[in-house]
A = this chain, B = another copy of it.
């Protein structure tokens, strides 16, 4: 799947992933109204609203982008109906040829990580049959429990030719409280980066590993250091746009081949129609067109920074 991700990025010339993180406040009034008319102001109604919202954005952008990253928390908050909308979104994006990165940040002791791996990337055995659960292409993984929390994901990745992105340095303001602490003279995230590089060497695709890393756009200098520590690792870069990261901050996350990083934007794309830059040009009914325009602007911003 890392090979397909690289192919998709080359084809679209856009190292971009759209974060499908549909809070209800981003969903246009007319979509909410229609969903609530059909299902009431219920969890089912909310799930229908975010699904229709997603579908509009995917239909308007899928030809421009290599991948999407649905954040499962935004679905899980609506309970079972929300998770059904997550599942539908994953399947729909795959039908459209997109690589789907499930942003699930799971991670536990070995046997439990194994269950998450099976449920999100692999197949679970039921009697004599086996079934895919959520069936994303990649998922994000939390490394706090060490390698026996990560290896069960790697095992399933090998079998299914799928991948993971391990949290190394996250984009949020307080990420340094643990991740930046000095261990043997180096910040903890560099140690995690070295672990990712070592894990990754065991499961290589054509030019990049099945084991990627998450490094926030909000910390460009750390990105530069981590790029060197993990040369064969694809870096998933959140924090662009609404969280403050800019195109020029991203340069050092990439390798010299112009590959090696994929930049996520969520709010900046999916709620573009609510932003000053797009509000005047796009009516709420055309929210998806605003998302398309925001993808194009992001692609140009990154391309000009890389040139």
Which A residues fall within an 8 A CB radius of B? 21, 23-24, 32, 36, 41-43, 45-46, 71, 73-74, 76-80, 82-84, 87, 105-113, 115-116, 118-120, 124-129, 131-134, 142-149, 167, 170-179, 181-184, 188, 191-192, 195, 238
Contact = CB atoms under 8 A, between A and B. Distances in A.
Nearest to A112: B73
A176 B188 CA distance: 13
A129 B174 contact: no
A120 B145 CA distance: 22
Contacts of A128: 41
Contact of A175 (B77, B83, B120, B146): B146
A112 B74 contact: yes
Contacts of A120: 76
Nearest to A170: B145
Contacts of A178: 143-144, 146, 188, 191-192
Contacts of A149: 172, 174
Nearest to A145: B170
Contact of A108 (B105, B115, B131, B144): B105
A167 B45 CA distance: 35
B129 A42 contact: yes
